[in-house]
Structure 1
Amino acid sequence: MKRFHVHVSVEDIEDSIRFYSAMFNTAPTVQKPDYAKWMLEDPRINFAISQRGASAGVNHLGIQVDSDNELAALQAQLEAANLSVVSEPQTTCCYAESDKHWTTDPSGIAWESYRTLGSAPTYNRAGAQATCCAPPSPKLQTLPTDATNCCALGSGCC
């Protein structure tokens, strides 16, 4: 079986280990003074690309779930770890309608937890900006939330 690999450079290894242990709900399988690795069987990976005017590179990372219960459990897991979470219920972004929650790791990389509710004919909600979704700042608690417009949170997307 193949496994998708993502390697992220971080600014603070200890803060990042705490963040990712909370995100994945497990400790690293390998941990060194300057390195940590989680070998995960769940979640499977959903990889997407887009060309929408954003800078090339990692836009954001995420975990897609299949049920409302799984999404609620993931949100509770992040909040229990005192991580800032921004919720976007019933939003349209990346040609899909979704319920989602955003958090940002200590290095400023956006993480999306979401459940796809259905497909959408447009990249984002009609009348919204050309880009949508990923919060542009590691300080999520300072961002406005608007459930009717995923683009209210900033640039980037799914």
Structure 2
Amino acid sequence: MQRLHVNLAVEDLDRSIAFYRTLFGAEPTVRHADYAKWMLDDPRVNFALAQRGRAPGVDHLGIQVDSAEELAAVTHRLAEAGQAVVEQHQTECCYARSDKTWATDPTGVPWETFHTTGDLTTYGKDSDTVAPASACCGDTPCGTEATAEAERCCV
């Protein structure tokens, strides 16, 4: 089953948590000094807040999947849509270990599709590295080095 993912960059995490706690009527499922996440069932969404030095606002959108097969299917659909796709394997980011694909929609919004395979006690391998500004042509996706695939999508 798939779940919509929304990641917001925030300046004041506590203030944002207070707002979304009231809006969702629930405490965050995950809470750290620089990060909070709600795993909601109605609506079915993985809603994350990160205070990591990015400009406030929508950082990226995504689809969380439950299996490697679902990840492959969504990745295939992204490629069919004509978008360059950057794949990541066992990336450590956002207090989780995941396999991911990144693509940027025609308006420049980064989309992350991911299958989480484990939890972490730290933000990630490169905990000082922030989430991507885009899957291409800028900061590289969280926890990775720039790849030839990422460079090709700039063409």
TM-score by length of 1: 0.58
Runs of 5+ in structure 2 lacking a partner? Answer: 7-42, 147-155
What are the Cα deviations for residues 108-131 of structure 1, in whole angstroms up to 9, with x where unaligned?
111000000010111011xx2512
Specify the alignment match of 2:145 in structure 1. Answer: 152
> Contact (CA 8 Å) 1:133, 1:151: kept in 2 or not?
no
Specify the alignment match of 1:31 in structure 2. Answer: none
> Contact (CA 8 Å) 1:97, 1:116: kept in 2 or not?
yes
Deviation at residue 82 of structure 1 after TM alignment: 1.7
SS at match of 2:50: coil
1:15-94 matches, cutoff 5 A: 44-94=44-94
Q: Quick one: distance in 1 between partners of 2:127 and 2:95?
A: 14
Deviation at residue 152 of structure 1 after TM alignment: 3.0
Number of residue-to-residue matches in the alignment? 106
1:130 is aligned to 2:123: no
> Contact (CA 8 Å) 1:132, 1:151: kept in 2 or not?
no
Identity, % of aligned positions: 47
User: Root-mean-square deviation (CA), in Å?
Assistant: 2.7
Runs of 5+ in structure 1 lacking a partner? Answer: 7-42, 154-158
What letter matches 1:130 in structure 2? D
What letter matches 2:47 in structure 1? F
What are the Cα deviations for residues 111-155 of structure 1, in whole angstroms up to 9, with x where unaligned?
000000010111011xx2512342x346x2x57979xx72535xx
> Contact (CA 8 Å) 2:98, 2:114: kept in 1 or not?
yes
Q: Quick one: distance in 2 between partners of 1:109 and 1:63?
A: 13
Higher strand share: 2
What are the Cα deviations for residues 74-116 of structure 1, in whole angstroms up to 9, with x where unaligned?
0011112221111111100000000000011122111000000
> Contact (CA 8 Å) 2:88, 2:100: kept in 1 or not?
yes
Q: Quick one: distance in 1 between partners of 2:131 and 2:51?
A: 14
